[in-house]
Amino acid sequence: MSFRTRSQVLFGAVQTAPYTAAAITAADAVRVSNLTTETPFDVNETNYHQDSTNTAAPDAGGGYASWKWGRNLTGSGVVGTAPREDWMLRGAGLECRQVSALAETAASYSTVGGLPTLAFADAATPLTSNPTGVVIEITAGKGAGQRRVVVDYDEDTDTATLSAPFGLDRRGNADASLVPDATSRYAIPAGWLYTPRLDGYERVTAHAYKRNAADSTKSRRKRMTDAVFSFSMTLEPGKPVSVSYQARGVLAGKPEPAALPDDIEYGPEAGTAPPLLGADVALGGRPSGRFSQMTFDLAATLDQFGDASAALGYDEGDITEHKTGGKITLEMLALDEVDHLADFLTGTPRHFHAIWGSAGNGFGFWSEIKKQGPTDEDVRGRQAEGVAFRSHRPQRWFTLHAF
């Protein structure tokens, strides 16, 4: 589960405007691990230092804030409420929008053609606000309990395209008892959908406290404003999904004595991060839960431009480039048994989804990915293929539905 490390506490909030620090309150606290805060300063040579026998040290010039931390992806514990790391995800250049729940409704399921589709019987179904990336579940009738991700939607015909077909067991074999029919009912859980932006990035204010174990009024605080983030997400069967963040922003001042805010609130938040157990995982349209690890790296290039008018010589943090991709380590047995991976391994883009947890503490991740580079052996020594990939779609190249 998420936790504090060595008496360090992190607070954060999204700014309403550039160069305007967000107000930080006790309700903005978040549990993180391995928090490190660095202040890289430029080095300016002095007149005495150059061409001189004088050994005076160079002067410190401008500087910025560079922080790192980790966190297990955890839901709010309250259906329809954004997760605690909302400000972290938005600071990483993700757009956030609320997903309205779709109550149980009938639909016509089809596997004719390419990817499977659901044509909704009720033309008034609330799927007109770009539902790409949302989790949809069979909640009643035949096939109940199966979950998929909407990867496309045709408003004219009220038809959703799904990331993988229903009716397959977890080894990818057809199971007639799981194929939906006229008795099946479908629903979309309320939540929040995060998708990458290409511009209009939001900035974040963050405070990190080093607590005095004996007296919280003697804590020290570091501050960062106008920050942007990058992250890497790691999925491993049986474990919570871990996220490693990197941040870069304006150094708001030197570390200072500051009392830890009273009545720190770490909620609403579920008691534990949901592990990757009983999850719906598919690659290339077939269940693919037999992997030892998958990493997904936002790979955002973080930078700050020089600004002579700024107190420490740097403008706000900025995201200048994305190279989103990762690596999935598949068991050789899975490759032997399931031949649908063959075209992915030769470079054909394929949909990947992972859906885990339950309402209030659940997540659905989706991306269309394409193999990049050679495969290699699993570092743990097991006979497995480590397959590097890149996100294939130029926009909305991945989604995260917190439900």
The verdict on whether omega for the bond into residue 268 sits within 30 degrees of 0, i.e. cis, is yes
Q: CA-to-CA distance for 1 and 271, rounded, in angstroms?
A: 8
Q: What is the pLDDT of residue 263?
A: 84
User: Contacts for 379-387 with beta carbons within 8 Å, 24 or more apart?
Assistant: 380/292, 382/292, 382/331, 383/331, 383/332, 384/292, 384/329, 384/330, 384/331, 384/332, 385/329, 385/330, 385/332, 385/335, 385/345, 386/327, 386/328, 386/329, 387/327, 387/328, 387/329, 387/330, 387/344, 387/345
Q: CA-to-CA distance for 400 and 12, rounded, in angstroms?
A: 20
Q: What is the pLDDT of residue 348?
A: 87
> Would you give per-residue pLDDT tens digits along the chain (403 residues)?
344 445 578 999 999 998 999 999 988 999 899 999 988 876 666 665 555 555 566 565 668 999 999 999 999 999 989 998 999 999 999 999 999 898 899 999 999 888 999 998 765 555 656 789 999 999 999 999 999 999 999 888 889 999 999 999 888 888 999 999 999 999 999 999 999 988 899 999 999 998 766 666 678 899 999 999 999 999 999 999 999 999 999 998 888 888 888 888 888 888 899 999 999 999 988 888 888 889 999 988 999 998 888 888 889 999 998 888 999 887 655 554 555 577 787 788 999 999 999 999 999 999 999 988 665 544 444 445 578 899 887 666 899 999 9
Q: What is the pLDDT of residue 44?
A: 62
Q: What is the pLDDT of residue 143?
A: 96
> For residue 309, what are its two tokens?
């008018």
CA 89 to chain centre: 6
3-state secondary structure 301-365: EEEEEECCCCCCCEEEEEEEEECCEEEEEEEHHHHHHCCCHHHHHCCCCEEEEEEEEECCEEEEE
In which residue are the tokens 């009545």 written? Answer: 263
* Backbone dihedral angles phi then psi of residue 231, each to the nearest 5 degrees: -150, 160
**33, 97, 213, 269 from 2: Cα distances, Å:** 7, 24, 20, 10
Q: What is the pLDDT of residue 379?
A: 45
